Structure 1
Amino acid sequence: MRYSSQVRPISYLKANAAKVLTQLGELREPLVITQNGEAKAVLQDVASFEKTQETLALLKILALGSQEVTAGKVKPVGDVVARLRAKRAPA
């Protein structure tokens, strides 16, 4: 996705806030807001934001898992399954 087509100055946002919000919901593309010619903020619809946050959370979980594997903090799946079955078995 190219963000260059979705760049607007802050004055545009001030004058067209309702229109901008409608377009964000329809297009599902982020909008870069500039001030004095510099990118200052990014606006996006709530659904896209939530999806991004979920994706980031999953990536963090994967990174943590990878770090644990590298650090040797893992157990063979067979051992884990056997331990779970032993806990579940009636005494």
Structure 2
Amino acid sequence: MTLFVRVEPIKKMNRLLIDSNGIFIGEYEKSQQADIDRKIKEINAAETTLLSIYEKHGVFCVRWDGKKKSIRVKGIKVGSIPKEAWRPASWQK
């Protein structure tokens, strides 16, 4: 199964909206233009985790909490993006 990411501009940032089989399943971290490709790669690398969270808990959002990329449902942390899925930020290259 492949995830599809829609990019929605909001002021100086972008929302990354994730669909699976035409169904909205969640939102990834808000992103600057320079980081969109990297975050899409992270989404694809974490596909199994994201689909599992959606199946168990419903629509989610992923946010950086200072140490981890937390997956939340209705404001409650239900998981995190595995560190192996992370990609270097644009400013780290």
Report the TM-score range of the alignment, normalised by the length of the smaller protein.
Answer: under 0.3
| TM-score (normalizing by structure 1) | 0.24
Larger strand share, 1 or 2: 2
| TM-score (normalizing by structure 2) | 0.24
Larger relative contact order, structure 1 or 2 (CA cutoff 8 Å, min sep 6): 2
